[in-house]
Structure 1
Amino acid sequence: MSLEDPVVITCAISGALANREQCPAIPYTPEEYAAEARRIVDEGGVHIHIHARTSAGVPSYEAADFTAIHDAIRAEVGDAAILNFSTGTVGVSVERRVAYLQACPPEVAALNMGSMNYAKYSARRKDFVFETVFPNPFGEIIALLKAMRELGIKPEHECFDLGHVGSLVPLLDMGLLEAPLHADFVLGVTGGVPATARNLAAMADNLPEGVDAHWGVIGISRVQWTLLAAALSLGGSVRVGLEDNLYLPDGTMARSNGELVGRARQMTLDAGRRPATVQEARALLGLRERAGAAA
């Protein structure tokens, strides 16, 4: 990519971990998701990543909850945003994840590209706040990929470490992936790749050679903003949102996803680049144009 390429601004609208005790702006109900989607689109976001919740805020992997959120967002913003369902979870079967993709196929679905230690460390406590193993074996990756191909869903390859980028190569060789690839590099999770601009560049450099690919960055917590700056200078796209980070660059808690997207849009312009339209985003990700999609 070059600096002239437009920037796809993605927003992870909710996530599955943070709750309203940590940030009052996190949406729970379909109507609240729709209101946040409107703020995202109005500020320049064109790609919305969705973890479903019940109306009480409990993370959900039920088709009915994904469908209700999807339909509420579409009713609010029409085709002005690409909708993306997460398939990342611990302890939820592939079959259950495929079920909600089948019930309400999104344009894109996030696919974690490898297993890893996944933890949060407290330097003050000198201990882990939590730690687990995040299993994403090749068998599950392949099963999800095959389901996505059957449903016409574009996979978003979430890579938490350099080896996860390398895992794209055998899947390409097996004929399971089609160009353009769509990869997002997740930096800042304890157990994954450390959050530095050099590591981000290394991940982009390790995308499969000779294959058209679009990439973006997902920075965890407040390091998000420095990683966004790095991605913009390297020619990548960016993701913000209340799943990954609750704070603006000055340390103020965000009052909505729209505030985070607005800051990402301003950073994009300040870097001498421009936000992609939704049509441009669909082209970069290799998606079919939806009838009546807005600019």
Structure 2
Amino acid sequence: MATSRKVIITCAVTGAAHTPTMSPHLPITPDEIADQAIDAATAGAAIVHFHARNPEDGRPTPDPDVYAPVIERVSAETDVVINITTSGGAKTTVADRMAAALRFKPELASLNMGSLSPYGRQRILEKFDAWQHEWERELFTAAPSRVYPNTEEMISETIRQVGAGGTRFECECYDVGHLYNVAYFAEIGLLKPPFIIQTVFGFSGGIGLAADHVTHMRGVADRLFGQDYHWSVLAPGKHQFRLCTMGATMGSNVRVGMEDNLYLERGRMARSNAEQVARMRDILTLLGLDVATPAEARQILALKGRS
């Protein structure tokens, strides 16, 4: 694993997994998403990861026109590295998934490295008596029959088209097999080093949250990629800060944000993404670790730069 004295904080500001009913602080409209992204950058995030939502009902959308005012404002008002998702819902086409990244040609795009099924997500229905929008209920009711496909063909097409604009890929690995998928795409020449590997712990259908899973994923990545990769850790909910802290002490970068976690601490909802970034920055500072600026993140990850 390539090492740096600087830890890169990524903030994932809204995502597609949480819904409006779950938190009144979840950013939904373009203005809300842009405001929270800008504040997260001010708090210390070097990278901001974007999804878009229909401003009327909060439903996730791949529409580049909805992304546009967010990307334009954040680009104009900050120096932060922009990372746009290429994931999507079970019925979202590859063309739709790529649309925003192709239009805005960001420095980074996230890329899921294998298919997933959201086992057990229907149990979220038990936690809420009422939903603001019917689509939220339908999302969780249909979970037992849903697969989020990321086939070889889909990943290959995304790498070829989005990568043609100079965008580098943050390879999201939800299980050990996804690390081997990264190695496969490297072997056939589609992915180039240094690889940006984000190991994801505790999401349904993927590897669990145990500490030895973190060390195992790092060990496999070390064997596959040697010094030719940069490592980042993310985990959901109450596990976010614990596993990010563990990863940081082992040399990883970290991801926080309301895509993954709606809380700041037990019983206290995060009122903004910036609160989570500031908390993570405080933890890193207490550990004696320096936080990377956007310019330093660009250099560490060999990104193309803002221009």
TM-score, L = length of structure 2: 0.87
Question: Counterpart in 2 of 1:76?
Answer: 77
Give 1:7's aligned residue: 7
Counterpart CA distance in 2 for 1:55 and 1:170 is 39
Equivalent positions of 1:195-274 (< 5 A) are: 195-207=209-221, 208-274=224-290
Question: Identity over the aligned pairs, expressed in percent?
Answer: 33
CA RMSD of aligned residues (A): 2.1
Structure with the largest fraction of helix: 2
SS at match of 2:60: coil
Q: What is the number of residues matched between the two proteins?
A: 287
The 5 A counterparts of 1:106-125 are 106-120=106-120, 122=123
Per-residue deviation, residues 80-116 of structure 1 (Å, max 9, x unmatched) = 2111111111211112222322222111111000112
Kindly indicate whether the alpha-carbon contact (under 8 Å) linking 1:11 and 1:261 is maintained by their aligned counterparts in 2: yes
Measured against aligned partners, the alpha-carbon deviations of 1:226-271 in whole angstroms (never above 9, x if no partner) come to: 1012101111011010010011134310010000001110111122
Identify unmatched segments of 5+ residues in structure 1.
Answer: none
Amino acid at match of 2:195: L
Name the counterpart of 2:132: none
Alignment match, 2:67: 66
User: In the alignment, is the contact (CA less than 8 A) between 1:67 and 1:103 conserved in 2?
Assistant: no
**Greater than 4 Å deviation, 4+ residue runs:** 1-4, 121-125
Q: Where does structure 2 lack aligned partners over 5 or more consecutive residues?
A: 127-139
- 1:191 maps to 205
Letter in 2 for 1:51: H
1:75-114 alignment to 2 at 5 Å?
Answer: 75-77=76-78, 80-89=79-88, 90-114=90-114
- Higher alpha-carbon deviation: 8-17 or 129-138: 129-138
In structure 1, the residue matched to 2:136 is none
Shift, 1:17, TM fit: 2.8
- Partner amino acid, structure 2, of 1:6: K
Q: Give the direction of change, closer, same or farther, for the CA distance of 1:96–1:10 in structure 2 (3 Å limit).
A: same
- Provide closer, same or farther for how the CA distance between residues 2 and 269 of structure 1 changes in structure 2, counting only shifts above 3 A: farther
| C-alpha separation in 1, matches of 2:21 and 2:76 | 29
What residue identity is the alignment partner of 2:269? M
User: Hey, what's the Cα distance between the residues in 2 that align with 1:285 and 1:234?
Assistant: 18
How far off is 1:274 after superposition? 1.2
Structure 1 letter corresponding to 2:198? D
Displacement of 1:148 in angstroms is 2.0
